[in-house]
Amino acid sequence: MGSLVPEPSPPRRRHRPLREAIPPLILGTATFNTQYVPDPFDLPALSIVSRALDLGVRAFDTSPYYGPSERILGDALAHPAVAERHPRCSYFLVTKAGRVAGGEFDYSPAWVRYSVLRSLERLHTPYLDLVYMHDVEFVSPAEVLAAVRELRRLRAEGVLRYVGISGYPVGTLCALAEMVRRETGEPLDAVLSYGHYTIQNTTLGASAMARFDGAGVDVVLNASMLGMGLLTTRGADAGPLATWHPSPEGLRKACQDLVPIAAEAEEKLEVVAIRWALDNWSRVGASKGASTSRLATGDRVGVSVMGISSVAELEETCRVFNSVVEGLEPETADDAEQTRRRRWSLDRRRKIQGLVEKMWTVLGEWKDYSWSSPEPGFVNARKPADVGVTPDDGILAKHAAKSQVRVQVEELPVEQVAA
């Protein structure tokens, strides 16, 4: 009879820095949610995910706060048509924890643990690559610190690989990144900022990046290049966005005034916004970006998260991003086609920059405007008695049972691990 004691797992290598593991373009699935579409289950999620992987997009971002997004994404990744061609190790999976509902947050270690383990179930994965604490500005710094410590405990257990925070106010993100390093002696792997490097708002610039550098953050990601729908032809007053978008009426109108400027140049506002943000963040965010083999050794590209709700949007985004990278590549004298593509990209950059500068004039006082997050007087809707209370749905028990039979092997220093 064989032994009932499981064989020890081989010693694990220490994880390489996030910048060497994260892809420079991430498919965001906040759009797999009723906040953006009437019925997210009507989206062609399987086609989007399959096509993304075929196009070389190797990272996906989601959150339990995004309604059914985790389940929709997880089911697509687990579908035989995808899983048989793209094993789990071939893509990078990101989710979040802490935001329970619109105005409800639970950053307690118990809830963070439950949320992460529930995400494993929903995403059909044994581990997560990166987990953020979601919208950190809505809770106290002490709560953020406790939650980050719990994520790191989960990291030590092999449940996740990298730890970060996400949110809206750039100053708050900088201050919390500095606090985490000061209080724990270890910097955050990642900070996700949204809506702050767009044609309307460039707050996530040199000053913020210097603070993140001082805080030791490895990767800073830019999300919501369209301002959560503000910078589109239809704007934030159309569809489901109209009921929840936090932007004031004046900003919405100012952004709609950009539509005819784009049209006069035979462009669409969303195309201009995406191209400008991808192109500029690839350079502005490079110091805290992803390493890529497409550029010279050691060069990095700013990491962008792009929400997608159709295969056509995906293909257009990939086309634009590939063109942006071509503009970053050094010119090769013996490759005429590469030179042609590079020069086309640089010409496109100049045209879009000129157009955006006209838009900045129209935006006027709304340029670099950020709304308050949270709004004055915000009170967490999570009742104190409910903080840390988790559902009795078997998720914690299942993980505990797995942990009991798992033989923990202490991770060796890198220099002691065999090649």
The answer to whether 174 touches 208, Cβ cutoff 8 Å, is yes
Q: What is the pLDDT of residue 298?
A: 61
pLDDT tens per residue across span 84-107:
999 999 999 999 999 999 999 999
pLDDT tens per residue across span 179-213:
999 999 999 999 999 999 999 999 999 999 999 99
Identify the DSSP state of 189.
Answer: S
Q: How many helices (H) and strands (E) does the chain have?
A: 14, 12
Exposure string for 45-62, b = 16+ CB within 10 A, e = fewer = beebbbbbbebebbbbbb
Give the residue from 259, 177, 256, 248 showing the smallest Cα distance to 210: 177
Q: How far apart are CA 166 and CA 220, in angstroms?
A: 10
Quickly state the pLDDT bin for 126 (edges 50, 70, 90).
very high
The one catalytic residue among 36, 65, 66, 91: 66
Q: Can you give the pTM of this predicted structure?
A: 0.91
Q: Where are the domains of the chain?
A: 18-404
Query: Which neighbouring-strand residues pair with 419?
Result: none
Which residues are CB-contacts of 34 (< 8 A; sequence separation ≥ 6)? 40, 67, 240
Mean pLDDT of 166-186: 98
Q: How far apart are CA 203 and CA 219, in angstroms?
A: 17
For residue 56, the number of C-alpha atoms closer than 13 Å in the C-beta half-sphere is 10
Q: Which residue type sits at 53?
A: L
Instruction: Return the CATH fold of 18-404.
Output: TIM Barrel (3.20.20)
Angle, helices 311-328 vs 269-284, to 10°: value is 40
In the residue annotation, 194 being an active-site residue is answered as no
∠ at Cα 349 (28, 322), nearest 5°?
45
Q: What is the pLDDT of residue 335?
A: 87
